[in-house]
Amino acid sequence: MPQISLKSPSASEPCSTPRNSCFACLGRAFFLGILFATLSSCGSGGSSGSQAGYTVGGTVSGLTGTGLVLQNNAGNNLTITGNGPFSFTAALANGANYTVTILSYPGAPTQTCTVSNGMGTIAAAAVTNVAVNCVVAKVPRFAYVANLSDNTVSAYTVDAGTGALNAVGTPVATGLTPLSLAVDPAGRFAYVANAGNTVSAYAINAATGALTSVGGSPFLAGLAPNSVVVDPTGKFVYVTNYDNNTVSIFTINAATGALTAAGTVMTGLNPHFVTVDPTGKFVYVANWSDNTISVYAINAATGVLALVGSPIATGINPYSIAVDPTGRFAYVANEGSGTVSAYTLNATSGALSAVGAPVIAGSSPESIVVDPTGRFVYVTNAFSNTVSAFAINSTTGALGHVSGTPFATGLTPNSVTVGSTGQFAYVVNQSSNTVSAYAINAASGALTVLGTPVATGLKPDSIVVVGW
């Protein structure tokens, strides 16, 4: 507090002394009253907020690497050296907005981190509930592409430093018309949904990435399977059957990767895509012809699905769905309306609630993915030959267009994925028979093309990247 230089009688001298007149005593009383009021004002509000403002902070968990730097409102950089509470040094006034983001991610080991409760408005109190959670990123090792016209899967090694792909051996035979690929969380087994009513299973060579057919493969599914996913526990496989409106349920033999049928469940009309939330509690199915999403609860012991509530409305012809890594938001690519719908996810029931109006993508958006940091969404636009990029509002889940979007691809891009470190994105171009690779700007989410597209088989339709 600035020093006060008012002249007053000594506080030790009584008013009755000859030196002090009545006016002097009144002056002293006035001076002391001002001083008391000033000190009281400076002390009000405690350490969390005052006339100087309110702090923004929270807790970091899971951090094992070094180099994590947080920002608030694109400034006030804060280097984080360990787990526990943190607080930005710059205080904010009541009513001010705050946005906590990650400026740089940890290395040694490489980690991805997500921010929860990172946006809001100061409400006459310090913010203490921002949560930053970090996990060690799996290092990308291999990539696989399903080629629908020559009934094969192409394999590639992934350069973790540059993102470059290099072909591994010759493509491996699948069933008839392979449309979708999935890999178990441990990176041991790969599964392919073949439109010829089967699922092919492969063991992955951990050293080379080569695929070997699992005993008993291919396994019978429903009619025209077109999407496959493995749950986060690595125990169950789910396959959408487009022509008979069902999901086939399989259990995985942990030793061999072989599949055992565990029943089916009805869906909406022409289910086109299936995914599982990060907790492994819920399954979501995009029903292309009736413009809905079906939600199911997973029986943790058997993998059997139970329908949750009524189907959720989407845009026209929902082609695919993705759930963010925190399990709070879901996004749907609506092929017929050229949009992306956003939803919040109820962690208890799995139910979805729409977030605002759908946002515009390109022409015929098909494949959608959320990056491992949970900050960006990427969507392929098959008729525009582009990929759209969106930034996620970490509080509401709403999407905003990334600067520079959309980004050019090859011809008819219809599948996109992001590597496990969040540094690189890959798009298969069906009419070009190639894979395009991109570097992701960690701050903005913008894409930069990496080198020349890599050759695939005929009509590539799906891509997955494996890391551990």
Reported as a single tens digit per residue, the pLDDT across 396-430 is 999 999 999 999 999 999 999 999 888 999 999 99
Q: Express as a percent the part of the chain with pLDDT over 90.
A: 78
Residue 378 clears pLDDT 70, i.e. is over it? yes
Mean pLDDT of 277-301: 97
pLDDT at 259: 98
Which has the minimum average pLDDT: 132-136, 333-337, 433-437?
132-136
306 sits in which H/E element: strand 305-307
Mean pLDDT of 308-320: 97
- 109 pLDDT band, cuts 50/70/90, is confident
DSSP alpha helix (H) spans, 244-387: none
pLDDT at 103: 81
Residue 23 clears pLDDT 60, i.e. is over it? no
Residue 49 clears pLDDT 60, i.e. is over it? no
**Residue 96, class by beta-carbon neighbours within 10 Å (0-12 exposed, 13-18 middle, 19+ buried)?**
middle
pLDDT at 44: 37
Mean pLDDT of 449-459: 97
Q: Residue 307's beta-bridge partner residues?
A: 296
Mean pLDDT of 320-325: 95
Domain residue limits, the chain: 1-44, 49-136, 140-467
Determine the Cα–Cα distance for residues 388 and 406; give it in Å rounded to an integer: 4
- 446 pLDDT band, cuts 50/70/90, is very high
Better-scored residue on pLDDT, 141 or 285: 285
pLDDT at 132: 94
Reported as a single tens digit per residue, the pLDDT across 240-269 is 999 999 999 999 999 999 999 999 999 999
The pTM score is 0.80
Q: CA–CA distance from 92 to each of 88, 187, 220, 383, 389 (Å)?
A: 10, 46, 60, 46, 31
Mean pLDDT of 198-223: 96
Which has the minimum average pLDDT: 14-23, 403-412, 421-430, 458-467?
14-23
Better-scored residue on pLDDT, 121 or 22: 121
Task: Indicate the DSSP class of residue 171.
Answer: P
Reported as a single tens digit per residue, the pLDDT across 84-106 is 999 999 999 999 999 898 887 88
- 116 pLDDT band, cuts 50/70/90, is confident
Determine the Cα–Cα distance for residues 49 and 94; give it in Å rounded to an integer: 9
Which has the minimum average pLDDT: 24-38, 70-84, 216-230, 367-381?
24-38
Which has the minimum average pLDDT: 31-40, 177-186, 231-240?
31-40
pLDDT at 233: 94
Mean pLDDT of 6-14: 43
Which has the minimum average pLDDT: 106-120, 180-194, 340-354?
106-120
57 sits in which H/E element: strand 56-61
Phi, psi of 347, rounded to the nearest 5 degrees:
-65, -20
CATH class of 140-467: mainly beta
Q: Provide the token pair at 333.
A: 């690519």
Reported as a single tens digit per residue, the pLDDT across 136-190 is 877 778 999 999 999 999 999 999 889 999 999 999 999 999 999 999 999 999 9
Residue 346 clears pLDDT 50, i.e. is over it? yes
pLDDT at 34: 43
Better-scored residue on pLDDT, 374 or 337: 337
Better-scored residue on pLDDT, 232 or 115: 232
Q: Provide the token pair at 461.
A: 């339709």
Determine the Cα–Cα distance for residues 286 and 294; give it in Å rounded to an integer: 7
- 276 pLDDT band, cuts 50/70/90, is very high
- 445 pLDDT band, cuts 50/70/90, is very high
pLDDT at 51: 52
Residue 28 clears pLDDT 70, i.e. is over it? no
Q: Residue 259's beta-bridge partner residues?
A: 252
Determine the Cα–Cα distance for residues 250 and 240; give it in Å rounded to an integer: 12
Mean pLDDT of 127-143: 89
Determine the Cα–Cα distance for residues 52 and 163; give it in Å rounded to an integer: 47
Length of the chain: 468
**Average of per-residue pLDDT values in the chain:** 89
Better-scored residue on pLDDT, 196 or 35: 196
